[in-house]
Chain A
Amino acid sequence: MRKVLAWLWFLLFAFALVLGAVAFAQATPEELAFALGLFGFLMLANPLLFGYAGLLGFLAELRQGSARAETVAAALHYPIELLRELAALPLAALWLKELAPYRYAYYGLFLLLLMVAVAPQLSGGVLGLSGVLAGALWGAALPTAMVFGLELAASWQLAALLREGSTT
């Protein structure tokens, strides 16, 4: 059974490899730049995506009353002794604040790419985006939209919990 599964996995892996090689060989330069922008900015967005997703999970636990300080300590690499005395809501706020520098750097790099891709078009008076830089920009726009959505959801959840806490 184990052996069959290993072989199946190997076949799937080889199939994916061939598929990827064919796609790479047939891609236009714009599509290669798109893939580069997509995967490069996905790696840059990695702490933010996992951070906001983890924070959303923590906030859901907070609503159910099962939130634990250990989760935050593990995610932020803090010693648990520092956080054990804190309530769950300040812990969530701390987590959101910890992600702010990553978000700042990420949006800054995206803005840099946007300017590099758009500035030549502006100086040439041509507004249609084309070329490899535009491909990298569109690739980078996908993880940026994901980061934006997750951040919006996490900050909304936290604000809603704070409002409920202040009224009750």
Chain B
Amino acid sequence: MRNIAGSLVVSLVVALLVGLGAGAFLQASRTRGALTAVPPSPVVVGAQYEKKKQAVVLELYNPGFVPLHLVDQTVVFTPGPKSKEKGYALAAVPLNLTLPPRSSVRVTLSLKPGSQELQPGDVVAGTVSYSHPFSPDLYAVTHPFKLGEGKP
């Protein structure tokens, strides 16, 4: 180090970086603590009909920092104008899946065995009930899936 300005600048930059790092770390630990105290609600990010399996597959995403437990699923089938099938409901089919934080899982909603293929206009309402670690209660998310309504 040839001059005093150089050593001053170097030690100042080191001090600023270390201070920034320490402050950011402490702030992040507080934020993480706050976020892990809030139970999230899963989001349906994708739904598609699989003809071969005769099922609707939902993709559920957990946006929070707390793991969720998917307890069971309910399928309510409402026929459209083109369908010959009657409406039905399959209630409380056990699921027992754990949805870790910041990740997604695919849930298969099987339609009634032996039923007709879905026709455009049919509506399948899939309900997934879930619980989180802070409460014994059950919550539910319902996704109405309508075939042939501009879905890719």
Contact = CB atoms under 8 A, between A and B. Distances in A.
B7 A152 contact: yes
Interface string A89-123: 00000000000000000000000000000000000
Contacts, number: 53
Nearest to A163: B2
Interface string B8-19: 001100110011
B25 A129 contact: yes
Nearest to B6: A156
B45 interface: no
Contacts of B15: 145-146, 149
Interface residues of B, dominant DSSP: helix
Query: Secondary structure of the A side of the interface?
Result: helix
Interface residues of B, number: 18
A135 B10 CA distance: 24
B102 to A, nearest CB: 13
Interface string A67-87: 000000000000000000000
A157 B21 CA distance: 29
Interface in A48-64: none
Interface of A: 28, 30-31, 34, 129-130, 134-135, 138-139, 141-142, 144-146, 148-149, 152-153, 156, 159-160
6 contacts: A31-B26, A34-B25, A130-B32, A138-B22, A145-B18, A152-B7
